[in-house]
Amino acid sequence: MKQKTNRTTYIATISGGKDSVTMCDLLLKHGHRVDYIVFNDTLDEFEEMYTYLDKVEAYFKRKYNKEITRLKPSKRYDAYIFNIKKSGDNIGLVSGLPNPSQGFCEWRGYAKRDPLAKFTKQFDNYRVYMGITTSEPHRANREDEKFIYPLIDTFRMSEEDCQQYLISNDMENPLYRHFNRTGCRKCHYQSDRDYFNIWKHYPSVWDEFKSYESKVNALPNAIGKHWFKNYRSCSDMEKEFIASDTQGSLFDFSDEPLKDCFCKV
Ligand code: SF4
């Protein structure tokens, strides 16, 4: 039900990444209005992310009496992957793994955009604080006035500034030991280096990748062939990772993600 009020509701999104955590802390610390801190839980995050968010929430509660509201998608990753198409050209076929060559992440729509849109429907007037830094001003959507970018417009913080801010406050997400970005555990837009780090440091997650890939490809009604990475199977990648791990600098994996991955919302 809509909250009928002339008052504007201020919502801060937190992804668990360095930028959004810094943004929330700075907003609260400097007395900016924050009615809700919202985390879009895809239900498919790294375990470390959940532990970290509990720690951040405990700190926000202690220091500012603020909780984190956790939004959830209407369907889980499995339901999305193994969904049988009921309309369109591919009716009766299984959706399968998200296509890494697609320009946008369809899963983000289900897992993040839709739950946030549903949550904000209850408010007549609202604004959303987004944790985009001065390092990536092109990601700020200035055409939609619902979005506010305090790290750019108020605090003037770059990604490096945010990282240093959290390190100096002993609040850095442990996932940054292995990744430059944070996001869904099975993100299909990751860089080669991120895949390598998952293979090396998160073997159970890598096993999940292999299992999903082989399950989907074994289905007679899957649409085409499926990979987590464009045209490279997990076993193709694994061969390179093993060689790299044993021969060191012979292989230097790119750290460029395919898209806006890991995403920031
Ligand atoms: S982290 Fe990757 S898979 Fe997850 S929603 Fe963002 S782009 Fe999509």
| The pLDDT of residue 258 is above 50 | no
Q: Which residues line ligand 1 (CB under 6 A)?
A: 105, 107-108, 111-112, 183-184, 187-189, 261-263
256-264 mean pLDDT: 54
Q: What six digits make up the tokens of 165? A: 């801010």
Q: What is the pLDDT of residue 231?
A: 80
176-183 mean pLDDT: 88
Q: Considering just the CA atoms, what is the radius of gyration of the chain in Å?
A: 20
Task: Assign 3 a pLDDT band (cuts: 50, 70, 90).
Answer: low
Going across the sheet that includes 147-148, the strands are 68-71, 36-40, 9-13, 126-129, 147-148
Task: Assign 165 a pLDDT band (cuts: 50, 70, 90).
Answer: very high
Q: What is the pLDDT of residue 243?
A: 86
In the CATH hierarchy, which top-level class contains the domain 9-250? alpha beta
Question: How far apart are the CA of 105 and the centre of ligand 1, in A?
Answer: 6
Query: Distance of CA 148 to CAs 44, 90, 144, 251, Å?
Result: 27, 39, 9, 41
Question: How far apart are the CA of 103 and the centre of ligand 1, in A?
Answer: 12
Q: Which sequence spans correspond to the domains of the chain?
A: 9-250
Q: What are 188-218's pLDDT values in tens digits?
A: 888 888 899 999 999 999 999 999 999 988 8
Task: Assign 100 a pLDDT band (cuts: 50, 70, 90).
Answer: confident
Give the Cα separation of 137 and 141 in Å (integer). Answer: 9
- Percent above pLDDT 70 for the chain: 91
Q: H or E stretch including 159?
A: helix 159-168
Ramachandran angles phi, psi of 194, nearest 5°: -65, -45
| The pLDDT of residue 164 is above 90 | yes
| The pLDDT of residue 252 is above 90 | no
Question: How far apart are the CA of 263 and the centre of ligand 1, in A?
Answer: 5
Q: Which of 209, 163, 201 is nearest to 185 (CA)?
A: 209
Q: What is the pLDDT of residue 15?
A: 93
Give the Cα separation of 130 and 73 in Å (integer). Answer: 20
| The pLDDT of residue 222 is above 90 | no
Give the Cα separation of 189 and 98 in Å (integer). Answer: 9
List residues bridging with 13 in a β-sheet.
38
Higher pLDDT, 213 or 11: 11
Average pLDDT, the chain: 89
Ramachandran angles phi, psi of 198, nearest 5°: -65, -45
Ramachandran angles phi, psi of 25, nearest 5°: -65, -45
Q: Whole-model pTM?
A: 0.89
Q: Which of 175, 127, 112, 157 is nearest to 19 (CA)?
A: 157
Give the Cα separation of 200 and 179 in Å (integer). Answer: 12
Q: Which of 198, 180, 175 is nearest to 262 (CA)?
A: 180
220-240 mean pLDDT: 84
Q: What is the pLDDT of residue 152?
A: 97
What is the atom index within ligand 1 of the atom nearest the CA of 265?
A: 6
Higher pLDDT, 107 or 26: 26
Q: What is the pLDDT of residue 234?
A: 92
